[in-house]
Chains A and B, each alone.
Chain A
């Protein structure tokens, strides 16, 4: 149980284009989903927290107009990187939590490379 998927697993795009990453909880309803970014040899940095049906809460320093998050249902959240640039190249990981425990279930991650 508690499986989270992400799609795509990797994506290469040209600078200036937008990329959408999907995060799905496959066998449970996630009240909250989290989006992280991880640069090589660094820790996970939380970008934003999203709850179904409400606006995402972004961490300080994360541009909400550049990283659009939509949490349309209890099983799906999407992250859209708009006008991507090479410095946005990173490993993006989502996680989902069930109301109650603190435990988060992580997706397999999406490696974004912007040329």
Chain B
């Protein structure tokens, strides 16, 4: 079945450091890969997404890379700030089908 592995489950960094979260997916036909940030008790917030025809996308301090051959994609956050602390979820989907979510990474940025 469809599944996605997400690592690490928790990540603690110092303010200003970089953070990298990696996800590996199973469905080679997947073509949409979003990343969500979720604060406690809040809705998931889309922070960046990438489609299968692109290898990398960047938006200020956030970037996502996609390796279709290896079937993994990664979230990169540079110059982390305490307000980046949250749970991050990767997801993937194929066509107009449902999103499959990763298990989540709890990121803690210490001042």
Contact = CB atoms under 8 A, between A and B. Distances in A.
A103 B46 contact: yes
Given A49-B98, A102-B93, A43 B103 contact: yes
A103 B49 contact: yes
Given A43-B101, A44-B101, A106 B44 contact: yes
Contacts of A32: 96
B73 interface: no
A108 interface: yes
Nearest to B33: A102
Contacts of B95: 102
B98 A106 contact: no
Nearest to A4: B43
B43 A102 contact: no
B42 A104 contact: no
Interface in B23-68: 31-32, 34, 41-46, 49
A91 B89 CA distance: 16
Interface residues of A, number: 21
A108 B49 contact: no
Contacts of B101: 43-46
Nearest to A108: B43
Contact of A109 (B43, B49, B100): B43
B89 A44 contact: yes
Contacts of B93: 102
A93 B44 contact: yes
A111 B103 contact: no
Interface in B67-104: 89, 93, 95-96, 98-104
| A-B pairs, 10 with minimum CB distance | A102-B32, A106-B43, A43-B101, A44-B101, A108-B43, A102-B93, A43-B104, A43-B103, A106-B44, A46-B98
Interface of A: 32, 34, 42-46, 49, 91, 93, 97, 99-100, 102-104, 106-109, 111
5 contacts: A46-B99, A93-B43, A102-B95, A104-B99, A109-B41
